[in-house]
Amino acid sequence: MNYRQLGRTGLNVSILGYGASWLGGVFRAADDSRDIRAVHTALDLGINFIDVAPCYSEGRSEEILGRAFRDIPRERFVVATKIGSYCPDIFDYSAARVVRSVDESCARMGLETIDVLQVHAMEYADLNQIVNETLPAMVKLRDAGRIRHVGLTGLPLKNFIPVIDQAGPGVVETMISFFHYELNNTSLDSLLPDLKKRGIGVINAAPTGMGLLTDHGPYKKWPIPQPIIDNCRRAAAFCREQGVDIIKIAVQFAINHPGIATTVMGSMNPDHIRKNVSYAEEPIDFEMTARVLEILRPIRGHNFTRGRPENRDPIIA
């Protein structure tokens, strides 16, 4: 496994990260022992960056991580969790809820300190509150040693730089973007120079588009336009005809960008984790990648968005 620096945090993270949203039965029937094996498999294969949130399986994802961490030395993993989004569809970015959320997450995971605390889905917030209340509360926790670093997450891209700049130098240290650096959409690339200039560690998530770039298709939660789904199905079918797993192409494409510290993928299946890690360690298949990119060219950069109307990205279709 290769590792990269996460911005100016001083954290050295695996180029393939583990997304814990699958733990706890939100996507499949719950099986705690299988989920714990999945976490241990990821760690044993060199993955050290783990991303989770309180709203994943209503806290069960963090609880399962806590059980998985019991006999694991603390220095072997970097944990990023979030504040602000809670189930079912509750958003609370107040300072008081920030503090309470960290207490709850630490208790569930059996940790004294969170490595990276992130604003979850900031597109559902008043961004003025994020700048003037949420982030200052997170900085106080950082100063007190309860957390080590402060980050942002969100689907729309347009909010990141304004919030980072309004918060001031050194406040925001990391960001997570998803659906914006994968085979069919690389719009995150346009932000990377500005993020690098500000010293922000970049985390990419969902390199297969939450199933979009697989034979199974996307998770139904996401309002992905049908033309994007259809074109991605054609790309997956082409890979299948060539005897190649499109997930391999998607993983290799995402982790190949040197400006992205880590790319987070979720799974509760230890065998799938082993396969993803093997893909990450193989040389990139440039010829096959180029052929897949050509199939996806008609929808290149086409997107969807969500959140409060003023926080949404313009739609490209």
Q: Which residues are catalytic?
A: 56
Structure tokens at 27: 């996507």
Cβ-contact 28, 57 below 8 angstroms:
no
CA dihedral sign of residues 129, 88, 98, 64: negative
The beta strands (E) that lie in 108-163 are given as 114-119, 147-154
Look-up: residue for tokens 């996507």? 27
Residue with tokens 């039965």: 25
Contact 50, 11 (CB under 8 A): no
Report the distance separating Cα 143 and Cα 122, nearest Å.
22
* CA dist., res. 251 & res. 276, Å (int): 7
Q: Where on the phi/psi map is residue 92: left (φ > 0), alpha (ψ -120 to 50), or beta?
A: beta
Amino acid at residue number 66: G
Question: Residue 105 in contact with residue 54, Cβ under 8 Å?
Answer: yes
187, amino acid identity: S
Maximum Cα–Cα distance for the chain, whole Å?
Answer: 56
Q: Cα separations (Å) of 311 from 23, 65, 162, 303, 308? A: 29, 32, 11, 15, 5
